[in-house]
Amino acid sequence: MSAERLLRIQRERLLGALCCGGMTEALESVLDLLLAWDVLQWEDYQILRPSERPLYHSARELLDLVGSKGEVACELLLTALNDILHKAQKVGLSFGAVRSDGLGAQWPLPTTAVQTLQVDRPCLVKRLRGHVAAALDVLVESGDLTVYESDEVQLPIHTPSQQASARRLLDLVRSKGECAAAILLQFLHKLENLSTSHDKEKAFPAELLQYHKKLRSSVSAQSLFLSTYGGTGSLSLDDIYTEGLLEVAQGSREPQQPLGLEDILGPVGTLNAEADTVLLSGEAGSGKSTLLQRLHQLWARSVALEHLLLLFPFSCRRLSSEDREVTLRDLLFRHCCWPDGDHEMLFRYILDNPHCLLFTFDGLDEFRHTFSDERRLCCPTEPAPVSTVLFSLLQGSLMQGVCKVVTSRPEAVGTSLRRYIRKEVQLKGFSPEAINSFVQNHHRDSRVSVHILDILRSNSALFGLCHIPVLCWIVSKCYKELLSSSVNQPRTFTDVYVMILQHFMQHRHPQQCTMWMNWMTGHTDVALRLGCLALRGLESAHYVFSDLDLVKCGVTEDDIALGFLVHSEGLSGSDDKHYEFLHVTMQCFFAALFVTLNDDTNRSTIPKLFNLYKQQVLVPHDCFGPCFSLQQESESKMHTAESKKANLQIMATFVSGLLSQRHRNLLLLSRPAGAIERKFRQVARALSQGLKKHFRFIPCPVEGEKKSMHAMPEFVWLIKCIYETQDEAIARAAVAKLQVEHLKLTYCNIGPVECSALAYVLQHLRSPVGLQLDYNSVGDVGLEQLLSCLHMCNSLHLRNNNVTDEGVHRLTEKVVHFENFQKIALFNNKLTDACMLHIAEFLKAKQNFIALRQALCCRLGNNYITAVGAEQLAEGLRGHRSLQFLG
């Protein structure tokens, strides 16, 4: 079949592969090859560059353009695709007769340095990796580039990864001409000479290379499929992986730039250069484990972290089950990869070459021991409890110099561990564009994805929830339920989890599809059995369950087959079957179902749940049956109170939602109305008292200052619980006594979901406040949520919040009508000249409106506003009399 036809009939799949995960790398690599092979001209490349336009547009245009260039060009495009796609992506695709042999010999040798840059582009991009900064220094020194140009090349907004920086550098040097190109090539030549002599000196022994290969293929196999999909069919990580928003945690107050995967280990954001542990933090379901899995996969394919010879991945959940004393060697060889050859030699190499290694520890918040640096292990062969080995590695007394990446919920990392953290990178979930890519990747049938995205666009609260990847997955998975629930569209966490409960139960019993409520009537006991297991686990920080644990909660084979529990792989030294919930948030949801459905729960369970500092055991053991086996007593002392608390908070959020009017029907099918009402009243009381506690400690204002409240994270959680109830009376009562002029919520991890909750409650304030949300992740979607409470705000501070021109447009459109509104702070966002027009219009309109009122203040610094935007702003300010401050 001709290459032209192959391109045509496989178009949809090729587009999918080129845009996989919303990452531009595949398309960029194909463009490099086509430029080098002269299929594309420089002008074509400039039009197609994905940095200049949406990825899908570029990919489509590439296929169109090459298609129009004839058979040979199509053959070469298929050859390029065959070169760069991974094995898993190529399954089912046909590339025809690929022209890999002698491709280089077909074109005359380049005669100028500029031509060499083009012909050798694919390999120059690779060779520059890790050396872009040094190359820029050389070019600045030679006078071929200015410092400004050099900085521009490295700006993460333009070049989120090392490859992207390398390409930008090549493009810039090309535009500078022959001299700059020659200097760059000279630099690379020197570098190559250096590294070959270095490599020869340090040639790796064969045994090591063999182990390296074995480890690589084991890591590759482990990272091929996304584990969450257990029970519902495995999904290849390549097909579904979507880049999340990564940011350096704010030590300094510099503008935030998105980071690429490789930046996790790079120098950006280093706080303590002496430490070797990088913390990757993020809220529940934000994608930490998935990101780590992707990093492992890219390493195993030699696409990232190529300078690291050995990568040892650990799961803290699995390490928790290790109750014997272990040595470091046990951990590496027994938990990760067993060497076939000489253990001694390998271990010696590992000890002598810490800079070639990476250890990753996923889910430190799930490790059952609190971090402590009281006992420091230094000797790599000394046996010790697994917690001692792990903590000694993290603080660097053991294997100093080895880079470690630890993922955790932020609250589980206390100050004692933070001393040993090199830097903290925060995972902030999906951006709106990533949500689009995820849905498109999940549903290759574009009719379905378009439908889902339409629903999300019309339901901004649900769109906000989808910023959390685990929720995006559920929403995408339950699209049939979503389409059928047109009246009562999901808006809360609980809505989304009830939807997946329905989805799994109907999946198992399709014949009862239309009678979901009836089905629940007869199967409350299933929810109770799974809920019992879930709650017991949460209380004792257990996330992996043995067969015996299941039996003792009465969980049957049929219950397992529903799909909420999946096999837990890789538990060391155990042949028994183990299970875990599909995701820990699912465990929280079932625990909440147990508390709401169980008649025997103690009357103090709900108050204890909402007063998390004091509670010990939520539910007496006799509720779970006489002989539940989890070793809660002795171990409850060990596990991290903070991380346990975080999961119980999520569970309490679900309890609030399940008892609400919205979901009460579900519970009333099997429980008396009186009992449910009593529990709901308990929740309402707990929320009101919890908030009052916060108001009690508001300090009196010093003279000349406003009375202000700095909210703590727990305040935000209580507000989220109120939102789950969707009960206006509770929301109104909650803030009836809040009398402050300024509400400060800086650094509180406020994303779109939190914005929905805040707006739901704050719209009932009695008098307007200044709302300070600096250093959060509000974004345009969060801002959209906040619009409904801005009539109760006299100022809005949004420094460092990923707000774009679109967000500012919506904001100014809305607040122009609010008399009270006097101040906007938008420092450090993603604003460009495009928003200046809206601000100018806003200022013109607002001027008439507030001419006799107080000054309006507008802070816009540190965005991407140029002279063009400034002129538009000046136009808006012409004749404006009230503005006093313009930052």
Ligand X SMILES: Nc1ncnc2c1ncn2[C@@H]1O[C@H](COP(=O)(O)OP(=O)(O)OP(=O)(O)O)[C@@H](O)[C@H]1O
User: Least separation, in Å, of the C-beta of 465 and ligand X?
Assistant: 12
Which residue, 583, 412, 591, 403, is CA-closest to 500?
583
Answer whether 547's CB lies under 8 Å from 557's CB: no
Question: Distance between CA 183 and CA 193 in Å, rounded?
Answer: 16
297 contacts ligand X (rule: CB under 6 A): no
Question: Residues 681, 683, 686, 690: what is their CA dihedral angle, to the nearest 10 degrees?
Answer: -130
Which residue, 402, 350, 257, is CA-closest to 862?
257
Query: Of 23 and 718, which has the nearer Cβ to ligand X?
Result: 23
Question: Distance between CA 366 and CA 640 in Å, rounded?
Answer: 8
Question: Which residue in the set 289, 320, 640, 829 belongs to the binding site for ligand X (CB under 6 A)?
Answer: 289
Binding mask 425-464 for ligand X (x = CB under 6 A): -------------x--------------------------
Piece in contact with ligand X (CB under 6 A), picked from 210-218, 234-242, 627-635, 721-729: 234-242
Query: Of 121 and 467, which has the nearer Cβ to ligand X?
Result: 467
Answer whether 315's CB lies under 8 Å from 292's CB: no
Question: Distance between CA 847 and CA 845 in Å, rounded?
Answer: 5
Structure tokens at 54: 């949406």
409 contacts ligand X (rule: CB under 6 A): yes
298 contacts ligand X (rule: CB under 6 A): no
643 contacts ligand X (rule: CB under 6 A): no
User: Least separation, in Å, of the C-beta of 470 and ligand X?
Assistant: 4
CA distances from 461 to 28, 485, 496, 574, 734 (A): 35, 15, 11, 44, 21
646 contacts ligand X (rule: CB under 6 A): no
Query: Of 469 and 768, which has the nearer Cβ to ligand X?
Result: 469
Piece in contact with ligand X (CB under 6 A), picked from 98-106, 241-249, 597-605, 876-884: 241-249
The total of other beta-carbon atoms located within 10 Å of residue 223's CB is: 24
282 contacts ligand X (rule: CB under 6 A): yes
Question: Distance between CA 139 and CA 127 in Å, rounded?
Answer: 16
Query: Of 580 and 724, which has the nearer Cβ to ligand X?
Result: 580
Query: Of 316 and 390, which has the nearer Cβ to ligand X?
Result: 316
Structure tokens at 56: 């899908």
Report phi then psi at 730, rounded to 5: -65, -45
User: Least separation, in Å, of the C-beta of 370 and ligand X?
Assistant: 18
288 contacts ligand X (rule: CB under 6 A): yes
Piece in contact with ligand X (CB under 6 A), picked from 213-221, 257-265, 285-293, 343-351: 285-293
Question: Distance between CA 64 and CA 83 in Å, rounded?
Answer: 20
DSSP-derived secondary structure for 353-422: -GGGEEEEEE-GGG-SS----SS----TT--B-HHHHHHHHHHTSSSTT-EEEEEE-GGG--HHHHTTEE
Question: Which residue in the set 122, 230, 285, 770 belongs to the binding site for ligand X (CB under 6 A)?
Answer: 285
Question: Residues 520, 521, 525, 529: what is their CA dihedral angle, to the nearest 10 degrees?
Answer: 20
User: Least separation, in Å, of the C-beta of 492 and ligand X?
Assistant: 18
- Region 544-583 residues binding ligand X, contact defined as CB under 6 A: 583
The total of other beta-carbon atoms located within 10 Å of residue 665's CB is: 10
- Please count the residues of this chain forming the interface with ligand X, following the rule CB under 6 A: 23
User: Least separation, in Å, of the C-beta of 580 and ligand X?
Assistant: 11
Question: Which residue in the set 138, 179, 284, 560 belongs to the binding site for ligand X (CB under 6 A)?
Answer: 284
Question: Which residue in the set 162, 228, 812, 828 belongs to the binding site for ligand X (CB under 6 A)?
Answer: 228
User: Least separation, in Å, of the C-beta of 355 and ligand X?
Assistant: 28
Answer whether 290's CB lies under 8 Å from 243's CB: no
Query: Of 578 and 799, which has the nearer Cβ to ligand X?
Result: 578
User: Least separation, in Å, of the C-beta of 109 and ligand X?
Assistant: 43
User: Least separation, in Å, of the C-beta of 262 and ligand X?
Assistant: 16
User: Least separation, in Å, of the C-beta of 862 and ligand X?
Assistant: 28
22 contacts ligand X (rule: CB under 6 A): no
Question: Which residue in the set 18, 278, 394, 584 belongs to the binding site for ligand X (CB under 6 A)?
Answer: 584
Strand ranges of the sheet holding 742-744, from the earlier edge strand across to the other edge: 708-710, 742-744, 769-772, 793-797, 823-825, 856-859, 883-886
240 contacts ligand X (rule: CB under 6 A): yes
The total of other beta-carbon atoms located within 10 Å of residue 503's CB is: 20
Answer whether 384's CB lies under 8 Å from 325's CB: yes
230 contacts ligand X (rule: CB under 6 A): no
User: Least separation, in Å, of the C-beta of 377 and ligand X?
Assistant: 27
The total of other beta-carbon atoms located within 10 Å of residue 851's CB is: 10
327 contacts ligand X (rule: CB under 6 A): no
Question: Which residue in the set 260, 266, 269, 287 belongs to the binding site for ligand X (CB under 6 A)?
Answer: 287
User: Least separation, in Å, of the C-beta of 855 and ligand X?
Assistant: 44
473 contacts ligand X (rule: CB under 6 A): yes
Query: Of 196 and 234, which has the nearer Cβ to ligand X?
Result: 234
Question: Which residue in the set 89, 162, 223, 286 belongs to the binding site for ligand X (CB under 6 A)?
Answer: 286
Query: Of 241 and 628, which has the nearer Cβ to ligand X?
Result: 241
Query: Of 278 and 584, which has the nearer Cβ to ligand X?
Result: 584
Answer whether 654's CB lies under 8 Å from 494's CB: yes
Question: Which residue in the set 244, 339, 380, 768 belongs to the binding site for ligand X (CB under 6 A)?
Answer: 244
Burial letters for 201-214: b for 16+ Cβ neighbours within 10 Å, e otherwise? Answer: eeeeeebbeebbee
388 contacts ligand X (rule: CB under 6 A): no
User: Least separation, in Å, of the C-beta of 146 and ligand X?
Assistant: 37
Piece in contact with ligand X (CB under 6 A), picked from 283-291, 417-425, 664-672, 842-850: 283-291
Answer whether 267's CB lies under 8 Å from 462's CB: no
User: Least separation, in Å, of the C-beta of 363 and ligand X?
Assistant: 6
Query: Of 428 and 679, which has the nearer Cβ to ligand X?
Result: 428
Structure tokens at 498: 């009830």
290 contacts ligand X (rule: CB under 6 A): yes
Would you tell me the crossing angle of helices 661-668 and 673-696 to the nearest 10 degrees?
150
Which residue, 746, 685, 684, is CA-closest to 713?
746
Binding mask 208-227 for ligand X (x = CB under 6 A): ------------------x-
Report phi then psi at 529, rounded to 5: -65, -45
User: Least separation, in Å, of the C-beta of 249 and ligand X?
Assistant: 16
Structure tokens at 142: 């030679």
User: Least separation, in Å, of the C-beta of 240 and ligand X?
Assistant: 5
- DSSP annotation of 801 reads S
Query: Of 292 and 532, which has the nearer Cβ to ligand X?
Result: 292
User: Least separation, in Å, of the C-beta of 804 and ligand X?
Assistant: 21
Would you put residue 879 in left (φ > 0), alpha (ψ -120 to 50) or beta? Answer: left
Piece in contact with ligand X (CB under 6 A), picked from 67-75, 148-156, 307-315, 465-473: 465-473
Structure tokens at 787: 């619009």
Question: Distance between CA 761 and CA 726 in Å, rounded?
Answer: 10
Question: Which residue in the set 363, 657, 782, 807 belongs to the binding site for ligand X (CB under 6 A)?
Answer: 363
Contacts of 827 (CB under 8 A, 6+ apart): 799, 800, 859, 860, 861, 862, 863, 887
Query: Of 226 and 711, which has the nearer Cβ to ligand X?
Result: 226
In the bound state, the residue with its beta carbon closest to ligand X is 287
470 contacts ligand X (rule: CB under 6 A): yes
User: Least separation, in Å, of the C-beta of 881 and ligand X?
Assistant: 50
Strand ranges of the sheet holding 545-546, from the earlier edge strand across to the other edge: 545-546, 578-581, 565-567
Contact positions toward ligand X, by CB under 6 A?
A: 226, 228, 240-242, 244, 282, 284-291, 363, 409, 438, 469-470, 473, 583-584
